[in-house]
Amino acid sequence: MPGRRVLITGIASYLGTELARILEEDPAVEYVAGVDTRKPRALLAGTELIDVDIRDPELLTRIPDTGVDTVVHNQIVRRPGAGMSARRAHDINVIGSLQLLAACGRTPTLRAIVVRGSAGIYGAEPAAPEFFTEDMARLYPLRTRFQRDVAEIENLFGTFARRHDEVACAMLRYQPSIGPTGSTQIPQYLSLPVVPTYLGFDPRIQVIHERDALDALVAAVRRPVRGPVNVAAEGTIGLTRMIRIAGRPTLPIPSPLFGSATGAAKRLGLLDFSPDFQRLLRYGRGVDTSRLVREVGFRAHFTTVSAAEDYAAARNTAEAAA
């Protein structure tokens, strides 16, 4: 029997490169391709690299030619990096997704799409439920540009799924990740010399360990489901306790001054506190992972607390060796 054929967008990211590496070694997968204008983070001997911008119309011919049965959309910008404007991030998120779906519509062999989305669609609210379930995405207004981008992306893929019953389209709503690579906002925040917090607030934070984030993506590729699925570690942790585990001092700042203080951190090149991240630090967010466990068949190895402890241990080891 022929094996699975998988294409990954954003293959140059940590998760994209590692997913390709795992699929290369999977005997059930006969072909892996990656779309990106950057090189993968590691050598991928068995992956075909397609050097094309996700917004480029060239995608309309390149993807159908691969004959893939599964597309993993891993190229959603959560926070614009250095030299990337908010407008460009929006174009990659929305125009890129539109172009990808147009290519998917021309790929008759396609049977599954897995999107690495964001639990940021729920927002961070003072009166939020303890844990958001997948049907609560419209419980509160979309307050930030990133939330609106994510909502538009979900709408695009939802419309595609309704028009193409033969394709199972899964929207994985990831909580922020944490881990030894330290490349995302939570570990960067916890590595600040003094960690700012909102005076009078100690929100519940839920994360997912970067290794579990990868394993959840692999599980969703191997067992495609339809619709949104929350992806997170079990349990939550108070922000103050998380910072204490990281071994950093806190600097409580009154709410009206928080934006000015974090703006100074951005100018110093320490961390760009996005509007979504600022709201998370003030109100927190938890999501229910029952569907992830029940239907995708994946349960995170690390809890939120043990993920924070593993990050702190890895960083302490790295600092001691430096």
The 10s digit of each residue's pLDDT in 277-308 is 999 999 999 999 999 999 999 999 999 999 99
- For the stretch 219-255, pLDDT in tens is 999 999 999 999 999 999 999 999 999 999 999 999 9
Greatest CA separation for the chain: 63
Task: Flag whether pLDDT at 270 surpasses 80.
Answer: no
Q: What pLDDT sits at residue 1? A: 54
Beta bridge partners of residue 73, listed in sequence order: 115
Q: Give the integer Cα–Cα distance in Å for 167 and 179.
A: 33
Three-state DSSP state, 178: strand
- Look up the CATH number of the domain holding residue 54: 3.40.50.720
- 59 phi and psi, to 5 degrees? -60, -30
Domain for residue 131, yes or no? yes
- For the stretch 14-33, pLDDT in tens is 999 999 999 999 999 999 99
Q: Considering only CA atoms, which of 157, 210, 145 is closest in space to residue 184?
A: 210
What's the whole-model pTM score? 0.95
Q: Higher pLDDT residue, 80 or 235?
A: 235
Domain for residue 314, yes or no? no
Angle CA 120–122–123, to nearest 5: 65
Q: Higher pLDDT residue, 233 or 2?
A: 233
Q: What pLDDT sits at residue 319? A: 83
| Percent above pLDDT 70 for the chain | 98
Domain for residue 156, yes or no? yes
How, if at all, do strands 70-73 and 112-118 pair? parallel
Tally of structural domains, the chain:
1
Q: What is the mean pLDDT of the chain?
A: 94
Q: Give the integer Cα–Cα distance in Å for 196 and 112.
A: 42
Q: Which of 50-59, 234-243, 263-272 has the lowest mean pLDDT?
A: 263-272
Domain for residue 14, yes or no? yes
Residue recorded with tokens 């009206």:
256
Whole-number CA gyration radius for the chain: 19
Q: What pLDDT sits at residue 264? A: 79
Q: Higher pLDDT residue, 122 or 1?
A: 122
Domain for residue 238, yes or no? no
Domain for residue 223, yes or no? yes
Domain for residue 72, yes or no? yes
Q: Give the integer Cα–Cα distance in Å for 7 and 253.
A: 45
- For the stretch 98-136, pLDDT in tens is 999 999 999 999 999 999 999 999 999 999 999 999 999
Q: Considering only CA atoms, which of 30, 41, 110 is closest in space to residue 73?
A: 110
Q: Which of 151-155, 167-171, 181-185, 231-235 has the lowest mean pLDDT?
A: 181-185
Spatial neighbors of 13 by CB under 8 A, at least 6 apart, are: 41, 74, 75
Give per-residue burial for 60-76: e unless 16+ CB within 10 Å, then b: bebbbebebbbbbbbbb
Q: Give the integer Cα–Cα distance in Å for 297 and 83.
A: 39
Q: What pLDDT sits at residue 82? A: 64
Domain for residue 21, yes or no? yes
Task: Flag whether pLDDT at 312 surpasses 90.
Answer: yes
Range of the domain at 58: 4-180+207-233+286-301
